Amino acid sequence: MKTNPLLQIIKYAVLALFTFVFGYPIFLMIVSSFKENAEIFTNPLSLPTSFNLDNYIEVWEVVNFSNYIVNSLIVSSSAVFIVLFVSSLAGYYLSRYRFKWNPYLLGFFMIGLMLPMKLAVIPLYMTMLKLGLVDTLFALIFIYVAGGIPFAVFLFYGFFRTVPRALEDSARLDGCNDFQVYYRIVLPIMKPAISIVGIVNLINVWNDFFYPLIFIRTDSLSTIPLGMLTLFGEYDTQWNLLFAGLTLSSLPMIIAFLFASRQFMDSLTEGAVK
Amino acid sequence: MTKIKRKNRYKKHLVHLFILPAALLYGVFQLYPLISAALNSFYSFNGFERVDFIGFQNFITLFTEKPYKDFFLNAFSHNWIYFFVTVITQLIISLILALIIHSKIKGKEFFKSMFFLPKLLSVIVIGFLFSLILNPTRGALNTLLEAIGLEAFTRPWLGDMSTALLSVIFVDSWASIGFSMLIFLAGLQAIDKEIFEAARIDGANSFTVLFRITIPMIGPALMIMTVLTFIGSFETFEYVFAMQGSSGGPYYSTDVLTTFFYRLAFGTVDGGQAIGLGSAVAVVLFIIIGMATSIILFVFKRKDFER
């Protein structure tokens, strides 16, 4: 088709405008994190006059930032790993074995897809209170695992239904038991489904603020997003520290995205479409 | 012979270990709390303790008694505004961006990544970042407007009742456009190229192709995104909380059902905690969101249940 030059110019103009709209706030956040507080106040839009990391060092010292990072890492990695493990087993069970209760089990998991879990926070709080898990990282891990299971089970279930059984049958003939079939044959061929579930859950868990807000009381047990609340509560006039904190908390995800932008975008799209 | 049979049966039972951990974790930490939250709406409470079964009294109080009735209607109407504005600011813009990126242009990957970037940041980080950018005296937006000669448009974006809710919605859209753009792109890429060939041979111009072929063909994606936007507009909490606090300031002009729920559950509406009333709000949201989700699940994903 012939391309109309005027139309092409309009297209690039729109794209440039939105690149500015999306890029500038993030650029501003990073640039301001190198400025002194007075400099942000007098020249909010200018580039920093010097490039120094003082703000980062100070943020690291005034709040428990290293704790926040460690807590976020523990919670995210455990939650993602457990979701992958238990949901892939469940999805395999639902697609490969034809028990008469399987349709009811699917319905059972579907309720979790339909209703917002946030609104169940009071009974959840009481359950955690009874189990002695309030103000522990275990509370967060259990919640994120439970919250991730319905989506993951459905995705794995759909995935296994597209994989032919022939491979598994031949492994069974060679004398593998059910778990060996799962571990040696099934796991290796389901990398695409694992990356979708893994990335979707990683982004959700890493960035979540709501559950730490309710369940974590001790500052040293905060995850990064909850730590931001502490920072903004205590240093609300020192914008240099606030910008440095925001940049620091966004950096891990932005770096991961630079290395694997395709996987991130493809996973989230397929996760939503499937 | 019998020995082998018994061994096989033993193994068959072990298979149920596959479903057990997922069912247990999900049952205890999600399904049970959801059911319990729904049941709580029929009880009166003393702190966290259920006292009496009172039928629909919590709902009657919520819908008919001051101040709850006014809070509820106020928040409920904001959720609807949130939805309608988001359809324009998020869906229509992301559809336009997807159409442009899908057409013949250079640098597709760069623009896609750029627009998607905000989705990776925590909602609380985005909320806080924009509360700084939209700050009336020191914020970048007002400074920028002054710098380009638009002083007349500077205002306390988050502090002015007429712009507060719109500002929150804009920030939400800023973060979500990239994702819906990717969904639309996936829909556009799935359209068979031959249809466009055929249309061109029949002499259709690009305007006709867009409205007669492209948009109808991505109808399902459009429908799913509209429903997802609807659900998002009724579940929204973090942006309001980060930028306007749990009371949806200024003067409740950004209050939504989830922040109203949060205050009832953790105690600042009319003094103490009101878990029964909070649960009634939760049930209203369960019904609204549950109905919307069933549209997606049963209309678009029926294939999962056909065996």
Q: Which residue of A has its CA nearest to B203?
A: A1
Question: What's the helix, strand, coil split of chain B in %, to 5?
Answer: 75, 5, 25
Q: What pLDDT does B302 receive?
A: 58
How many residues comprise chain B? 307
pLDDT tens digits for range A15-50: 999 999 999 999 999 999 998 888 888 888 888 887
Take residue B161 and report the two structure tokens written for it.
Answer: 């009742």
- CA angle B137/B140/B142 to nearest 5° reads 55
Intra-chain end-to-end CA distance of chain B, in Å: 35
Among B29, B123, B237, beta carbon nearest to A143: B29
Tens digits of per-residue pLDDT, B36-82? 999 999 998 887 788 889 989 999 999 998 889 999 999 999 999 99
What's the rounded mean pLDDT across residues B21-47? 92
Place of tokens 């909602």: B123
Angle among Cα A196, B94, B152 to the nearest 5 degrees reads: 135
List, in order, residues 6 or more apart from B182 with CB less than 8 Å away: A265, A268, A269, B98, B112, B116
Helix axes A239-259, A5-32, angle to 10 degrees: 130
- CA B140 to each of CA A29, A130, B33: distance values in angstroms, whole numbers, following the listed order: 10, 47, 43
pLDDT at B307 over 70: no
Of A21, A149, A154, the CB nearest to B304: A154
- Per-residue pLDDT at B271: 54
Of the pLDDT bands very low, low, confident and very high (cuts 50, 70, 90), residue A2 is low
What pLDDT score was predicted for residue B168? 96
Q: Amino acid identity, residue B115?
A: F
Instruction: Say if residue A134's pLDDT is above 90.
Output: yes
CB B26 to CB A146 under 8 A?
yes
CA distance A224 to A66: 9
Other Cβ atoms closer than 10 A to A169: 12
What is the percent of chain A where pLDDT is above 90? 53
And the tokens for B228?
Answer: 């997802």
Within A47-155, strands assigned E span none
Mean pLDDT of chain B: 87
Element (H, E) at A100: none
Confidence class for position B1, pLDDT limits 50, 70, 90: very low
CA distance B95 to chain A (A): 13
Place of tokens 């719109």: B166
**A149 → closest Cβ in B22, B132, B258:** B22
Give whichever of A73-82, A248-257, B216-225 has the largest mean pLDDT.
A73-82
- The one-letter code for the residue type at A251 is L
pLDDT of the residue at A170: 84
A139 CA: distance to closest CA in chain B (Å)? 10
Q: How confident is the model at residue A143 (pLDDT cuts 50, 70, 90)?
A: very high
Q: Is the pLDDT of residue A105 over 50?
A: yes
B290 near A140, Cβ under 8 Å? no
Pull the structure tokens for residue A186.
């099934």
Q: Taking a contact as any Cβ pair under 8 Å apart, which residues of chain A between 119 and 158 contact chain B? A: 119-127, 129, 142-143, 145-147, 149-150, 153-154, 157-158
Q: What is the DSSP string of A160-210?
A: HHHS-SHHHHHHHHTT--HHHIIIIIIHHHTHHHHHHHHHHHHHHHHH--H
The answer to whether the beta carbons of residues A123 and A54 sit under 8 Å apart is no
Backbone φ and ψ for A247, nearest 5 degrees, come out as: -65, -45
Taking the Cβ of residue A269 and every Cβ of chain B, the question of whether any pair is shorter than 8 Å is answered with yes
Name the residue with tokens 């609340």.
Answer: A229
Average pLDDT over residues A182-211: 88
- The partner residues of B49 in beta bridges, in order of sequence, read B46
Query: Among the CATH numbers 2.60.40.10, 2.60.40.1510, 1.10.287.110, 1.10.3720.10, which is that of A63-234?
Result: 1.10.3720.10
Per-residue pLDDT at A116: 86
- pLDDT tens, position by position, A217-266: 999 999 999 999 999 989 888 899 999 999 999 999 999 998 888 888 88
Over residues B13-33, mean pLDDT: 90
The beta-carbon neighbor of A253 closest among B120, B186, B279 is B120
Q: Residue B256 and residue A70: Cα distance in Å, rounded? A: 34
One-letter amino acid for residue A222 of the chain? S
pLDDT at residue number A132:
94
Q: Are A84 and A187 in contact (CB under 8 A)?
A: no
Q: How far apart are CA A124 and CA A130, in angstroms?
A: 10
In terms of Cα–Cα distance, which of A33, A22, A23 is closest to A245?
Answer: A33
**A1 pLDDT more than 70:** no
Q: What pLDDT, in 10s, does the model give residues B202-219?
A: 887 878 888 888 888 888
What does pLDDT average to over chain A? 89
Residue with the two structure tokens 């929204």: B236
Contact B105 A11 (CB under 8 A): yes
pLDDT cut 90: percent of chain B above it: 50
Exposure of A142 in the CB half-sphere (CA atoms within 13 A): 23
Residues of B whose CB is below 8 A from A21: 174
- From A141-150, B142-151, B225-234, the region with the lowest mean pLDDT: B142-151
Probe site for chain B from A119, A126, A160 (most B CB atoms < 10 A): A119
Q: Is B51 helix (H, G, I), strand (E, B) or coil?
A: strand
Q: What is the pLDDT of residues B252-275, one digit of tens each?
A: 999 999 999 999 988 765 556 688
Distance CA A223, CA A206 (A): 8
* pLDDT number for residue B8: 53
Q: Which pLDDT score, from 0 to 100, does residue B134 have?
A: 93
> For residue B286, what are its two tokens?
């369960």
Q: Which CATH architecture fits B62-305?
A: Orthogonal Bundle (1.10)
Q: Is B2 a residue whose pLDDT tops 50?
A: no
The nearest CA of chain B is from the CA of A121 a distance in Å of: 7
Q: How far apart are the first and last CA of chain A?
A: 33
Domain boundaries, chain A: 5-56, 63-234
**Domain limits of chain B?**
2-40, 62-305
From B94, B112, B72, select the one nearest B172 (Cα to Cα).
B94
Residues 6+ apart with CB under 8 A from A174: none
> What are the structure tokens assigned to B20, written together?
């057990």
- Interface A:B, Cβ pairs < 8 A: 262
Q: What is the DSSP letter of A47?
A: P
- CA dihedral sign, ordered B225, B228, B230, B235: negative
* A199-203, B28-32, B145-149: range with lowest mean pLDDT: B145-149
DSSP B19: T
Measure in Å the smallest separation between the Cα of A141 and chain B Cα atoms: 10
Rounded Cα–Cα distance for residues B158 and B169 (Å): 11
Distance from CA of A191 to the nearest CA of B (A): 19
Strand partners, B50: B45
What is the pTM for the complete model shown?
Answer: 0.90
The whole-number pLDDT of residue A178 equals 77
Alpha-carbon distance A247 to B26, whole Å?
A: 34
